[in-house]
């Protein structure tokens, strides 16, 4: 019998930070979520932002751009930015995009921002949704609550904090 472990979030290397990103979108409104976690799985910081945008694809790209801006703002040096929007992550890895014009503009903006990050190790990485649950829950919470701004470990919504704790058991 082949027993498979559930695929869950994987920690970055020691001294590294992994930012998971996601967006919730409906009827032209979106909530962007970025959560930064260390190699122990602890939340370093999280950010949510509610925006108006034309598509879910554009919202996912906006979440990645928000993460890159936070890398610059927080002066993080060893980074993985991970998301479950394959088309966005693939576009950033290959520097080409065939999606909507709005998402293509945002991806181009991200690629220009990355050029500013000299001395920073930055990897864009696609992951399955079940490895991106915390960012997904955070985006859904922000969409329902309308909250904008930063969150710290003690101020995360209950379901998000509980999911982080349960994922740490697999590290």
- For 48-96, what is each residue's pLDDT tens digit? 999 999 999 999 999 999 999 999 999 988 999 999 999 999 999 876 6
Q: The CATH number of 17-168 is which of 3.40.630.30, 3.30.420.10, 3.30.499.10, 3.60.21.10?
A: 3.30.420.10
The pTM of this model reads: 0.93
Distance CA 124, CA 7 (A): 19
Nearest to 120 by CA among 80, 81, 77: 77
Give Rg (Cα) of the chain.
15
Domain ranges of the chain: 17-168
């Amino acid at each position: 019998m082949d027993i498979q472990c559930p695929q869950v979030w994987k920690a970055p290397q020691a001294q590294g930070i992994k930012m998971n990103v996601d967006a919730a979108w409906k009827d032209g409104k979106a909530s962007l979520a970025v959560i930064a976690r260390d190699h122990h799985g602890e939340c370093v910081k999280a950010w949510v932002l509610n925006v108006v945008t034309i598509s879910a694809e554009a919202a996912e790209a906006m979440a990645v751009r928000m993460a890159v801006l936070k890398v610059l703002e927080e002066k993080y040096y060893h980074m993985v930015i991970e998301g479950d929007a394959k088309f966005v992550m693939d576009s950033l890895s290959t520097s080409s995009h065939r999606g909507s014009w709005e998402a293509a503009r945002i991806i181009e903006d991200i690629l220009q921002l990355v050029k500013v990050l000299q001395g920073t190790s930055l990897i864009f990485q696609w992951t399955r949704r079940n490895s991106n649950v915390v960012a997904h829950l955070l985006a859904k919470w922000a969409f329902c609550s309308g909250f904008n701004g930063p969150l710290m470990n003690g101020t995360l919504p209950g379901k998000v904090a509980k999911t982080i704790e349960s994922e740490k058991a697999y590290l």
